[in-house]
A and B are shown apart, each in its own frame.
Chain A
Amino acid sequence: MIMSENSANGISRFAVELGVAALTGVFGIAVCYGSLDIGAGWTDMGPDAGYFPFYIGLLIVLGSLANIAHAFFKHRGTGEVFLDGARTRVVASFLLPIAAFAGVSAWLGLYVGTALYIAATMLFQGRYKWWISLPAGLGVSIFFFIVFEIGFQVPLLKGPVEAWFGIY
């Protein structure tokens, strides 16, 4: 997502503007391509399934091109910083655990994922003692279980750990 064009004090806004506009542009091209596949014409019965998506895709591409041009005029060489080194670390310290949370949850289920994630963030980022963090993580997870599984009978994703306890 974030371009690797790092200047001395972090990622420049110009680079990110370009990167995002390029990404939206590629998305627009994909939308156009996908719509052509299903027919993007105007039939005697009105527009085909791909008619609106095609022009939407086209507008995304055009808008993205305009944004790229705009970035060159407005943000090039201004030295505007999107994210400096220290802040990048802070954001990453929040984002990476979330990604790990999602990964672990896909494998072990959301209850285990939630307990681990909350305990870990409290322990390592909140600098709470382990005997506060671990019960807190477990507690939130159990609370979720009671509310969702028992209270509202909406199942959350479960994995092998719950299966050992005979909970499916």
Chain B
Amino acid sequence: MKKSVSIAAVVAAAVGLAAPASAFEPNRPVEFVVTAGPGGGTDIFARTIQAIIGKYELMKAPVVVTNKGSAGGAEGFVYTAGYKGDPCKLAFGTNNAYLLPVRAKVPYKSEDLTPVASLASDEFVLWVNGKADYATAADFVAKAKEGGLKIGGSQSKDADQILTSMINDAIGAKISYIPFKSGGEAAVQLAGEHLDANVNNPSENLGQWQAGMIKPLCVFKSAKFASDAKVAGDKAWSDIPTCKEAGIPIENYAMPRTVWLPAGVEHDVVQFYADVLRKVSETPEWEKYLADSSQSPGFVTGDELKAVIEKDGATVGEVLKREGWLAN
């Protein structure tokens, strides 16, 4: 199964070079299945793409967006996977697409989906309360080793908790993790001093940072943010040090924003959507969306995408294994 998908991807990439992009064109409405509730990061991701496609008329067929965010997004992936070979269903998600089947007994496998593209990656920042007495990540690490700290995040055994586990492993601490329904809840709990830290994405915490209720310590990224506009007082995103240099030896941890088709679709279908999404990623609107939400650009498709997924899956899979969260 896995092999046939990779062959398809190779062929798709090859055909993409040779054939014109118009080999396939959807002749009926395309459904964008958002694997998150309305208003969340994935929802805005999908709806931004919908708006850009509409504005530049990148596709003749209309786009319908549906939210299927129950069970950590599994609802949407199961739904999409159920339309095997249907070229008009696109699922929008994160790395949860291939992590969910590993950590929970969900009724789909990652082979039931065909990766189309990854359009951006959302970064993770270590945030603490604005009144907290630690000024740097090193202070936080020292405190964490004493024990009793709490990190809150969105969902259980998902990106936030995996990162928490990686932090614990990297610095040899036992920070406990408290799952909430969304990153927004974790943000307020931190602002209210009920938590010691969270690892929210930049856009989830910007408002509280500006008000001085919380402050960033470091970003889990190999290089600092590029944007040096002053967003919070005299601070810019680029002022946040990387966690590695600040004392938490984690090189890079990001959440890709991914798009999927069901398994069993023709390669020219994958190619068509990859092309549309590539054009989306080249518009000024897309640039603005990334800048507003402080996500890193990076359009990846085809073989390269497969490699990224495999690498991410392996890294995270290790954490899941260590924590004993494997479902099967």
Contact = CB atoms under 8 A, between A and B. Distances in A.
Q: Answer whether A and B touch in the complex at a CB cut-off of 8 Å.
A: yes
B241 to A, nearest CB: 33
A168 interface: yes
A155 interface: yes
Contacts of B31: 155
Contacts, number: 11
Interface in B75-105: 88
Contacts of A154: 64, 66
Interface string B280-308: 00000000000000000000000000000
Interface string B222-265: 00000000000000000000000000000000000000000000
A168 B83 CA distance: 14
B28 interface: yes
Interface in A22-46: 45
A153 interface: yes
Contacts of B29: 155, 168
Interface of A: 45, 153-155, 168
A49 to B, nearest CB: 10
A168 B64 contact: no
B28 A153 contact: no
A146 B30 CA distance: 19
Contacts of B66: 154-155
Main secondary structure of the interface of A (DSSP, over half): loop
A168 B86 CA distance: 13
Interface in B30-85: 31, 64, 66
11 contacts: A45-B176, A153-B64, A154-B64, A154-B66, A155-B29, A155-B31, A155-B64, A155-B66, A168-B28, A168-B29, A168-B88
Contacts of B28: 168
A168 B64 CA distance: 11
Given A153-B64, A168-B29, 9 more contacts: A45-B176, A154-B64, A154-B66, A155-B29, A155-B31, A155-B64, A155-B66, A168-B28, A168-B88
Nearest to A38: B105
A45 B64 CA distance: 43
A123 to B, nearest CB: 33
A79 to B, nearest CB: 47
Nearest to B28: A168
A52 to B, nearest CB: 16
Nearest to A49: B156
**Shortest 6 CB-CB contacts between residues of A and residues of B:** A168-B28, A155-B64, A153-B64, A168-B29, A155-B29, A155-B31
A168 B66 CA distance: 15
Nearest to B61: A168
A153 B66 CA distance: 10
A158 B176 CA distance: 48
A153 B50 CA distance: 13
B169 to A, nearest CB: 19
A154 B65 CA distance: 8
